[in-house]
Structure 1
């Protein structure tokens, strides 16, 4: 049988085949090493949606008593709220509401009901007219009953997005309001301290393009390099979240910038090594190894670079691949990556299957490859000197990340690697976002499945990277 011809797959074609939601959303900790968000330096950002910019620098640990009670109903209900004044955006929190009628259905809404970007859920009060919405059973509204994510934060994931969520930056205020039988009876606010993107510092190295986020708690911490996907958009928000967790994180760009390859074609692995060595010399980095956290093609790069360099002590691949692929170019057939000046082995892209979502094209290409080609292109992940975490969505529309990560998983198991895991979220898509941001269903998966993946994967990402300490 004739082997299918190789396909010149350009980055422009890839971008055209991806949904706008995939390109716009971020993919990637609810850890225990964060500093108190109430004393974090505050700077306003440019986010939008259910939150508004806030200059609140209150040092309170929680709110209690009446707040924002509707005057018309003040004599009927004396509503009290208990919750933190400020939280990090990836931090679940408890909210207890009292002073409500017993055993009554109450609607809690995030955002202004008159604005398009809001989400609401109906919950039931107990016999004492009190409800802990963190543990409340959902009985209706925008959030599905089966979602296993705390309600105060899952509401952020179900806001009605007209297109895509703007990038969040800095402290922003989220408003929670209560309704009974269509009447507003009270409201409260919580400040979410998103990473301040403007706090990033340029990397003082002539060959490296990226931004470094230092730990916001003032202390040194493990170093992490965050790798973007084929869209060449730096993952600044993710690096900022890691900085809030005590890491020193670099949002690295590895192509399509001055001094770098214009296309995702034969990107030198040595560039990643240079970045890790620079990071290890940084004043705010502890330890003698750094972690790599990559998304999609960046996940493929994280596994490959991690298998080559002793400076890497942990690797996380989100929606990545255990094999290396042909790069994207107008006129070149070669690998996405190069080592010591030579292209690494790769799986070629065939012509068929690239209409619409590209998953069929990648599937066809993998099936057309010979066993020898697949073996040569398989990343030697067993050489990674530290824990490996693979994260996949079962409804990925870009490529079959579950299958591609299984290749790495099986290799790790066959070589008795001491620390690895593969998290598969059956109802998630290609983009697995940091918690807790607005979600869509554009690039695969259900909103419920993606909400749970976002909630569940991030603490495990942080735990894997914390092995560097």
Structure 2
């Protein structure tokens, strides 16, 4: 018996000595593996270069990212084959499988989607802009689909983190409770004054700061303005106070850190609709970016705008993905009516009668607002006023066009209606629209807010 144990012990020692070079080699190789990210602490709208080194030549690997926001987790994946030197350059090499394919250095970020097993219709929204978006990067041996990535039993070959910031560390964030006004003011560093932009979202309600934070990080002073479902503001969208909105224009345009040249408004959906209203009523509004907002008062009257286009709920389209509502208001715009420009001009905001410059961002696959409204608006403008209206259309882009490189949202749960709404958009095309339109928005506000009507340029820190 003791002899048998002795033989077994010698065999185990021999096997260990035989396997030791392989074990040592694997440990040594893993020590050489590295994920490099440049820049190290980027803003979310910065392009990022990611390089994986220390792999074997022609090695198959899967790169998985994940990020947690509040209690929800979003992730993406991409599959690569390392080059002859054992490197993967994510911005130069194609993803062969995953949440995106092809060469796209930012594909791992815009293609993030909610992990399986969570509530249907989750939308990524950064709630606390004073903290970074912490993205975990893991590299696994072999190729896996995104769904299979959530069941990998092996340890990653190498892991790392990248911190992407919505708010530059030099930007001041100030909670505003001034009279009836509520919101958050973001002020860039430097002596100022700065070009001023008011930022408004849609029927999601509440205070959403992430877009204002990015804008401020690019040199604008930005007022993130909620108008219902925040603190003591109205709970119902139908109770929005139009005087509150007008007062926000007065307060912001007179702020000492805002260039005395008028202000801009950036809005999406209902927020864009309200932005157009304010551009007609408030001469301080010099420019508006309308991201897929209706050019008329929808659902309910607001302030002096009593001509309302209501939704025909029978025109909602119910699908397995969610509800399409884009056609719900089109009973009011039959071809014979659209041809009657007088009728249209009664319903539409008369922005052509003001000096406001407008940039329309249109997703042609919008499932919430009919993208053809932009063409009707253009026809309302007299020929000598058309230069004040710029329309940028994006084929296969949907309703929620966010800043560059943020996760694409095709459908999400709408808490006010209690349904999943389909916003539309083919992910790859929508991501390109986000990148291109964000550049246009920054350029548009610089152009319109840093030059007065006489062509004089104002100095700023931009």
Whether contact under 8 Å (2:194, 2:258) holds in the other structure is: yes
Q: What is residue 32 of structure 1 aligned with on the other side?
A: none
Q: What CA distance in whole angstroms lies between the structure 2 residues aligned with 1:380 and 1:303?
A: 9
Q: What is residue 357 of structure 2 aligned with on the other side?
A: 387
Q: Counterparts of 1:118-197 in structure 2 under 5 Å?
A: 118-145=75-102, 150-155=106-111, 157-158=112-113, 160=115, 162-163=118-119, 164=122, 165=124, 167-169=126-128, 170-181=131-142, 184-195=156-167
> Which of 245, 254, 258 is the equivalent residue of 1:285?
258
Q: Counterparts of 1:384-423 in structure 2 under 5 Å?
A: 384-400=354-370, 402-412=371-381, 414-423=383-392
Residue 259 and residue 139 in structure 1: after superposition, are their counterparts in 2 closer, same or farther (change >3 A)?
A: closer
Per-residue deviation, residues 332-366 of structure 1 (Å, max 9, x unmatched): xxx3x323xxx343434456424643323212233
Whether contact under 8 Å (1:93, 1:152) holds in the other structure is: no
- Over aligned residues, Cα RMSD in angstroms? 3.5
Q: What is residue 311 of structure 1 aligned with on the other side?
A: 284
| SS of residue matched to 2:163 | strand
Q: What CA distance in whole angstroms lies between the structure 2 residues aligned with 1:71 and 1:430?
A: 54
Moved more, 216-225 or 78-87: 216-225
Q: Which runs of 5+ in 2 are unaligned?
A: 1-22, 144-153, 412-421, 451-462
| SS of residue matched to 2:62 | strand
Q: What is residue 28 of structure 2 aligned with on the other side?
A: 75
Q: What CA distance in whole angstroms lies between the structure 2 residues aligned with 1:224 and 1:196?
A: 17
Is residue 90 from structure 1 mapped to residue 45 from structure 2 by the alignment? yes
Is residue 455 from structure 1 mapped to residue 449 from structure 2 by the alignment? no
Whether contact under 8 Å (2:43, 2:168) holds in the other structure is: no
Q: Counterparts of 1:209-248 in structure 2 under 5 Å?
A: 209-215=182-188, 219-248=192-221
Whether contact under 8 Å (1:363, 1:399) holds in the other structure is: no
Residue 425 and residue 278 in structure 1: after superposition, are their counterparts in 2 closer, same or farther (change >3 A)?
A: same
Residue 264 and residue 175 in structure 1: after superposition, are their counterparts in 2 closer, same or farther (change >3 A)?
A: closer
Per-residue deviation, residues 150-202 of structure 1 (Å, max 9, x unmatched): 335335x3463633236342124322222333773323321112349997433
Moved more, 198-207 or 437-446: 198-207
Q: What is residue 345 of structure 1 aligned with on the other side?
A: 307
Structure showing greater radius of gyration is 2
Q: Whose RCO is larger (CA < 8 A, sep 6+)? A: 1
| TM-score between the two structures when normalised by the length of structure 1 | 0.71
Residue 73 and residue 363 in structure 1: after superposition, are their counterparts in 2 closer, same or farther (change >3 A)?
A: farther
How far residue 121 of structure 1 moved from its aligned partner, in angstroms, is 0.5
Is residue 375 from structure 1 mapped to residue 345 from structure 2 by the alignment? yes
Q: How many residues align?
A: 384
Q: What CA distance in whole angstroms lies between the structure 1 residues aligned with 2:292 and 2:432?
A: 16
Residue 100 and residue 168 in structure 1: after superposition, are their counterparts in 2 closer, same or farther (change >3 A)?
A: farther
How far residue 265 of structure 1 moved from its aligned partner, in angstroms, is 4.8
How far residue 256 of structure 1 moved from its aligned partner, in angstroms, is 5.5
> Which of 309, 312, 332 is the equivalent residue of 1:365?
332
Whether contact under 8 Å (2:207, 2:230) holds in the other structure is: no
How far residue 96 of structure 1 moved from its aligned partner, in angstroms, is 2.8
Q: What is residue 66 of structure 1 aligned with on the other side?
A: none
Per-residue deviation, residues 119-159 of structure 1 (Å, max 9, x unmatched): 2101233333333212322212221338x56335335x346
| TM-score between the two structures when normalised by the length of structure 2 | 0.72
| SS of residue matched to 2:195 | strand
Is residue 466 from structure 1 mapped to residue 446 from structure 2 by the alignment? yes
Residue 406 and residue 249 in structure 1: after superposition, are their counterparts in 2 closer, same or farther (change >3 A)?
A: same
| SS of residue matched to 1:86 | coil
Q: What CA distance in whole angstroms lies between the structure 2 residues aligned with 1:106 and 1:218?
A: 49
Residue 214 and residue 96 in structure 1: after superposition, are their counterparts in 2 closer, same or farther (change >3 A)?
A: same
Q: What CA distance in whole angstroms lies between the structure 2 residues aligned with 1:71 and 1:237?
A: 47
Q: What CA distance in whole angstroms lies between the structure 2 residues aligned with 1:125 and 1:216?
A: 43
Q: What is residue 201 of structure 1 aligned with on the other side?
A: 174
Residue 230 and residue 387 in structure 1: after superposition, are their counterparts in 2 closer, same or farther (change >3 A)?
A: same
More helix by share: 2
